[in-house]
Amino acid sequence: MKFDTNAFSFLNDDNQYTHGWNNVTHEELKLTLEYLIAQGFGREDAPNVFAVIEAFNAFMDSIGLSDTTDPVMGVKIDEGGLLEQVNGPAIFASDAGPVLKVGNYKIPITINGDKASVASLKGDIVVAENGDKDKYRSVTWEFFSEVLGDNIEVSFVLDSKQRPEIAKLSKGKLKQIVNEGGLTDLLRAISSDGSFLKPRDLDVGEYSVVSITRNKDHAEYGPSWKIVLEGVGPMMTTGHLNNSLLTMAGIYTKWLSMGKPLTFAISGKTKTPQGVAVSCGFFKRPPNPTRLVTSAKMMEIAAEPTAPALPQSATSTVTVPAVAVPAVAVQSGLEIPF
């Protein structure tokens, strides 16, 4: 079994997700079972739902994330409100070596030939050929789940799109590379913006801006920026916020370089037929203490059976004389992952 769209197809019955990409927390999955039980449904009524969630719970426990409240996967909802795609756990390359990405977490994975392990989970690296006419090769990490009574498969994400020669490798050649310890060199580098929060993920309120950095422009979606918020971490800009920063980013960046405070404010979020519209903008002043929001900073954890939570970064407020400066308010619009 894979933690993919087929496994989590039952999320189609949940109306809380809107068009576009949505974060799903571990707690939401646990509550799904509690809701079914409260409604009088048991394992015999929905065996696959119980099996998938219980297997995922056991998986999270094995890698030390059983109590996390952070997002653990992303789901994409189409215009009709149906589940289109699930981004579950997967294995990427990083500057520190291969990592298992689970939501906002990046956990080192040990690879030794055709074997791989994370914390207490140990399994085989399997190369397979898929498809009928248009065949393609896949590489997965497979380990046995006692809860499921079967193997769970987690994909190694190959960098085939950027390096077409990888897609042309035969099954036999891929196996040879795996056995010789070269798999990491074929993996896609972990997507930095995929690990970042978006404006829609933040609570309404005000945040202290640490830095603003322009990303490399996307060929289809254009420019975007990484905004580091104190006590929160990186946030990726989206939609109309990008249009605003095309005009103002240079001013805000210089303002910060002068040691002056800058605030990112979210005044409201509204569900629309197209997604979630976020009213947000910047103020050249410190956050209002009554509206200051402190959120959990995203974590990188070590591959131990249990992973202690990292401390949140402290939030500080700088007091300066009040200066009336109009905010640049925009709506972030739909979010499109790069």
Mean per-residue pLDDT for 41-47?
A: 90
> What per-residue confidence (pLDDT) applies to 274?
55
Question: What is the enclosing helix (H) or strand (E) of 181?
Answer: none
- Tell me how far apart the alpha carbons of residues 314 and 136 are, in angstroms, rounded to a whole number: 48
- Please list, residue by residue across 249-277, b when 16 or more beta carbons sit within 10 angstroms of its beta carbon and e when fewer do: beebbebbeeeebbbbbbeebeeeeebbb
pLDDT confidence tier of residue 124, bands split at 50, 70 and 90: very high
328 band by pLDDT with thresholds 50, 70 and 90: very low
The pTM (predicted TM-score) of the whole model is 0.59
Per-residue pLDDT at 223? 85
Alpha carbon distance 127, 173 (integer Å): 10
- Rg of the chain on CA atoms, in Å: 22
> 222 exposed, middle or buried (CB, 10 Å; 0-12, 13-18, 19+)?
exposed
Q: Residue 291: is it exposed, middle or buried by C-beta count within 10 angstroms (0-12/13-18/19+)?
A: middle
Greater confidence (183 vs 335) lies with: 183
Between residues 98 and 223, the one the model is more confident about: 98
Q: What percentage of the chain exceeds 70 in pLDDT?
A: 80
**CA-based nearest residue to 117, from 108, 128, 106:** 108
SS3 24: strand
